[in-house]
Amino acid sequence: MPRVKRGTKRKDRRKRILDLAKGYYGTKHNCFRIAELQVERSLAYATRDRKQKKREFRGLWITRINAAARMNDISYSQLVAGLKKAGSDVNRKVLAEIAFQDPKGFSALVTSAKSALAAA
């Protein structure tokens, strides 16, 4: 059987993995076998955490909205229900930003939610 020298394919593969491992601690950035394992693991974490980031931000927005709503004497769930009945289609991200940046504007939204709840 003839000898196979992989040449540039092998070199390019190793270079690609080691470039992805740049900045890792210890032998994880310069030992190919260990770097390959770490890069595979890191890419798996990156895929998982793109989903988790969305979850964590939604939780943060809800916490901010709830804190601002409680300062206006209403709970988060009542606020969301009132806004839905009032026909407001402000999402949680924008609502959290309004609560954080513009408390008076948020109070106006709370009053419209309260009046919609009282009318129903």
Distances (CA, A) of 104 to 35, 58, 71, 98, 100: 53, 23, 12, 9, 10
What is the per-residue pLDDT across 46-96, written as a single tens digit (0 to 9) for each? 999 999 999 999 999 999 999 999 999 999 999 999 999 999 989 999 999
pLDDT(120) > 80? no
Q: How far apart are CA 60 and CA 53, in angstroms?
A: 11
Distances (CA, A) of 1 to 4, 5, 6, 8: 9, 13, 15, 21
- The domains found in the chain, sorted by start residue, are 8-119 (1.10.1900.20)
Read off the pLDDT band of 36 (50, 70, 90). very high
